[in-house]
Protein backbone atom coordinates (compact mmCIF):
# COMPACT_ATOMS: atom_id res chain seq x y z
CA UNK A 1 0.00 0.00 0.00
CA UNK A 2 1.29 3.49 -0.81
CA UNK A 3 2.47 5.19 2.35
CA UNK A 4 0.76 8.57 2.80
CA UNK A 5 0.33 10.94 5.71
CA UNK A 6 -3.44 10.54 5.46
CA UNK A 7 -3.22 6.75 5.76
CA UNK A 8 -0.77 7.04 8.66
CA UNK A 9 -3.58 8.61 10.69
CA UNK A 10 -5.32 5.21 10.71
CA UNK A 11 -2.59 2.59 10.35
CA UNK A 12 1.17 2.23 10.60
CA UNK A 13 3.52 1.15 7.82
CA UNK A 14 6.73 -0.74 7.44
CA UNK A 15 9.60 1.05 5.76
CA UNK A 16 8.99 1.24 2.01
CA UNK A 17 9.96 -1.84 0.01
CA UNK A 18 9.15 -0.27 -3.38
CA UNK A 19 9.23 3.22 -4.82
CA UNK A 20 8.49 3.16 -8.49
CA UNK A 21 8.33 5.99 -10.97
CA UNK A 22 5.07 7.15 -12.50
CA UNK A 23 3.98 8.82 -15.69
CA UNK A 24 1.33 9.25 -18.33
CA UNK A 25 0.33 6.54 -20.77
CA UNK A 26 -0.57 8.05 -24.15
CA UNK A 27 -0.81 6.97 -27.79
CA UNK A 28 2.54 7.28 -29.60
CA UNK A 29 0.93 9.49 -32.26
CA UNK A 30 -0.64 11.88 -29.74
CA UNK A 31 0.72 15.41 -29.23
CA UNK A 32 1.06 14.32 -25.58
CA UNK A 33 3.78 11.86 -26.63
CA UNK A 34 6.12 14.87 -26.76
CA UNK A 35 5.43 15.70 -23.10
CA UNK A 36 8.18 17.75 -21.45
CA UNK A 37 10.20 16.14 -18.69
CA UNK A 38 10.08 12.62 -20.09
CA UNK A 39 12.88 10.60 -18.55
CA UNK A 40 13.36 13.04 -15.66
CA UNK A 41 12.48 12.41 -12.02
CA UNK A 42 11.55 14.91 -9.33
CA UNK A 43 10.73 14.50 -5.65
CA UNK A 44 8.16 16.87 -4.14
CA UNK A 45 9.67 16.30 -0.68
CA UNK A 46 13.30 17.03 -1.52
CA UNK A 47 13.09 19.02 -4.79
CA UNK A 48 9.82 20.89 -4.35
CA UNK A 49 10.59 23.89 -6.56
CA UNK A 50 11.96 21.76 -9.42
CA UNK A 51 9.07 19.29 -9.15
CA UNK A 52 6.46 22.04 -9.17
CA UNK A 53 8.15 23.66 -12.18
CA UNK A 54 8.06 20.31 -14.01
CA UNK A 55 4.35 20.04 -13.22
CA UNK A 56 3.75 23.62 -14.41
CA UNK A 57 5.58 22.81 -17.67
CA UNK A 58 3.03 20.05 -18.35
CA UNK A 59 -0.03 22.23 -17.97
CA UNK A 60 -0.07 23.95 -21.39
CA UNK A 61 0.05 20.59 -23.15
CA UNK A 62 -2.62 19.07 -20.84
CA UNK A 63 -5.03 22.00 -21.19
CA UNK A 64 -8.45 20.73 -22.24
CA UNK A 65 -7.39 17.06 -22.16
CA UNK A 66 -9.03 14.23 -20.23
CA UNK A 67 -6.82 12.22 -17.88
CA UNK A 68 -7.84 8.89 -16.39
CA UNK A 69 -6.79 7.88 -12.89
CA UNK A 70 -7.79 5.07 -10.55
CA UNK A 71 -10.02 6.37 -7.78
CA UNK A 72 -8.74 6.58 -4.19
CA UNK A 73 -5.10 6.41 -5.22
CA UNK A 74 -2.13 8.70 -4.79
CA UNK A 75 -2.41 9.52 -8.49
CA UNK A 76 -6.02 10.67 -8.18
CA UNK A 77 -4.94 12.89 -5.26
CA UNK A 78 -2.04 14.25 -7.33
CA UNK A 79 -4.26 14.96 -10.35
CA UNK A 80 -6.84 16.64 -8.13
CA UNK A 81 -4.24 18.92 -6.56
CA UNK A 82 -2.06 19.74 -9.56
CA UNK A 83 -3.97 19.14 -12.79
CA UNK A 84 -7.71 19.68 -12.32
CA UNK A 85 -7.36 23.38 -13.18
CA UNK A 86 -6.31 22.53 -16.76
CA UNK A 87 -7.61 19.03 -17.52
CA UNK A 88 -10.70 16.97 -16.88
CA UNK A 89 -9.82 14.25 -14.37
CA UNK A 90 -11.87 11.10 -14.84
CA UNK A 91 -11.74 8.53 -12.04
CA UNK A 92 -12.12 4.79 -12.57
CA UNK A 93 -12.64 1.95 -10.11
CA UNK A 94 -9.96 -0.18 -11.77
CA UNK A 95 -6.90 0.26 -13.95
CA UNK A 96 -8.52 -2.00 -16.55
CA UNK A 97 -11.39 0.48 -16.91
CA UNK A 98 -9.16 3.48 -17.59
CA UNK A 99 -6.99 1.38 -19.91
CA UNK A 100 -10.07 0.43 -21.97
CA UNK A 101 -11.18 4.06 -22.25
CA UNK A 102 -7.67 5.09 -23.29
CA UNK A 103 -7.54 2.38 -25.96
CA UNK A 104 -10.98 3.45 -27.22
CA UNK A 105 -9.93 7.11 -27.40
CA UNK A 106 -12.42 8.29 -24.76
CA UNK A 107 -9.61 9.81 -22.68
CA UNK A 108 -6.30 11.34 -23.73
CA UNK A 109 -3.97 9.90 -21.08
CA UNK A 110 -3.74 7.71 -17.99
CA UNK A 111 -1.71 8.82 -14.98
CA UNK A 112 -0.44 5.91 -12.88
CA UNK A 113 2.52 4.11 -11.40
CA UNK A 114 4.99 2.93 -14.03
CA UNK A 115 4.71 -0.66 -12.81
CA UNK A 116 0.98 -0.68 -13.62
CA UNK A 117 1.58 1.12 -16.91
CA UNK A 118 4.29 -1.38 -17.87
CA UNK A 119 1.77 -4.16 -17.39
CA UNK A 120 -0.63 -2.35 -19.70
CA UNK A 121 2.10 -1.86 -22.32
CA UNK A 122 2.65 -5.62 -22.30
CA UNK A 123 -0.78 -6.16 -23.84
CA UNK A 124 -0.88 -6.39 -27.65
CA UNK A 125 -3.58 -3.72 -27.96
CA UNK A 126 -1.22 -1.18 -26.34
CA UNK A 127 1.73 -1.66 -28.70
CA UNK A 128 1.18 1.86 -30.04
CA UNK A 129 1.28 3.57 -26.62
CA UNK A 130 4.16 5.02 -24.60
CA UNK A 131 4.87 6.24 -21.06
CA UNK A 132 5.79 9.94 -21.02
CA UNK A 133 6.24 12.87 -18.67
CA UNK A 134 8.40 13.37 -15.62
CA UNK A 135 8.22 10.94 -12.75
CA UNK A 136 7.03 12.83 -9.69
CA UNK A 137 7.42 11.22 -6.27
CA UNK A 138 7.33 12.36 -2.66
CA UNK A 139 5.01 14.94 -1.18
CA UNK A 140 1.40 13.80 -1.28
CA UNK A 141 2.54 10.78 -3.33
CA UNK A 142 4.43 9.50 -0.28
CA UNK A 143 7.81 7.77 0.04
CA UNK A 144 6.79 4.49 -1.59
CA UNK A 145 4.94 1.26 -0.90
CA UNK A 146 5.01 -0.48 2.48
CA UNK A 147 3.17 -3.12 4.44
CA UNK A 148 0.15 -1.68 6.24
CA UNK A 149 0.03 -2.68 9.91
CA UNK A 150 -1.98 -1.99 13.01
CA UNK A 151 -0.34 0.71 15.08
CA UNK A 152 0.06 -1.63 18.04
CA UNK A 153 2.01 -4.24 16.01
CA UNK A 154 5.43 -2.77 16.80
CA UNK A 155 7.22 -6.14 16.94
CA UNK A 156 5.76 -7.17 13.58
CA UNK A 157 6.75 -3.80 12.10
CA UNK A 158 10.33 -4.31 13.31
CA UNK A 159 10.43 -7.77 11.69
CA UNK A 160 9.13 -6.35 8.39
CA UNK A 161 11.66 -3.51 8.51
CA UNK A 162 14.53 -5.94 9.16
CA UNK A 163 13.42 -8.20 6.29
CA UNK A 164 12.99 -5.24 3.92
CA UNK A 165 16.43 -3.86 4.84
CA UNK A 166 18.02 -7.26 4.20
CA UNK A 167 16.20 -7.69 0.85
CA UNK A 168 17.33 -4.23 -0.26
CA UNK A 169 20.92 -4.79 0.93
CA UNK A 170 21.39 -8.13 -0.81
CA UNK A 171 19.75 -6.98 -4.06
CA UNK A 172 16.63 -9.13 -3.78
CA UNK A 173 14.26 -6.17 -4.22
CA UNK A 174 16.17 -4.99 -7.30
CA UNK A 175 16.33 -8.49 -8.80
CA UNK A 176 12.63 -9.21 -8.29
CA UNK A 177 11.47 -5.78 -9.44
CA UNK A 178 13.53 -5.97 -12.62
CA UNK A 179 12.23 -9.49 -13.28
CA UNK A 180 8.56 -8.62 -12.81
CA UNK A 181 8.35 -4.88 -13.59
CA UNK A 182 11.36 -4.46 -15.92
CA UNK A 183 12.60 -1.54 -13.76
CA UNK A 184 14.35 -1.21 -10.42
CA UNK A 185 11.82 0.01 -7.85
CA UNK A 186 14.13 -0.31 -4.85
CA UNK A 187 13.45 2.67 -2.57
CA UNK A 188 16.34 5.06 -2.01
CA UNK A 189 16.66 6.00 1.64
Spatial contact of 75 and 111, defined as CB atoms under 8 Å apart: yes
**Alpha-carbon Rg of the chain, whole angstroms?**
17
| Domain assignment present for 87 | yes
> How far apart are the two ends of the chain, measured CA to CA in Å?
18
CATH number, domain at 45?
3.40.190.10
| Domain assignment present for 161 | no
Mean pLDDT of the chain: 93
| Domain assignment present for 76 | yes
| Domain assignment present for 123 | yes
CA distance 15 to 157: 8
Domain count within the chain? 1
CA distance 143 to 5: 10
Boundaries of domain holding 90:
20-141
| Domain assignment present for 187 | no
**pTM, entire model:** 0.86
The tens digit of pLDDT for each residue in 126-176 reads: 999 999 999 998 888 888 899 999 999 999 999 999 999 999 999 999 999
| Domain assignment present for 61 | yes
| Domain assignment present for 155 | no
| Domain assignment present for 185 | no
Amino acid sequence: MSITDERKKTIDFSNPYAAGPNGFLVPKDSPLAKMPGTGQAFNLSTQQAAAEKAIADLKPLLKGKTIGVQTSTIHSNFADKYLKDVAEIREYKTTEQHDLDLAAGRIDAVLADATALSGTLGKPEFKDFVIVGPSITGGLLGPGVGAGLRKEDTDLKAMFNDAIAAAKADGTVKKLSEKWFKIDITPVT
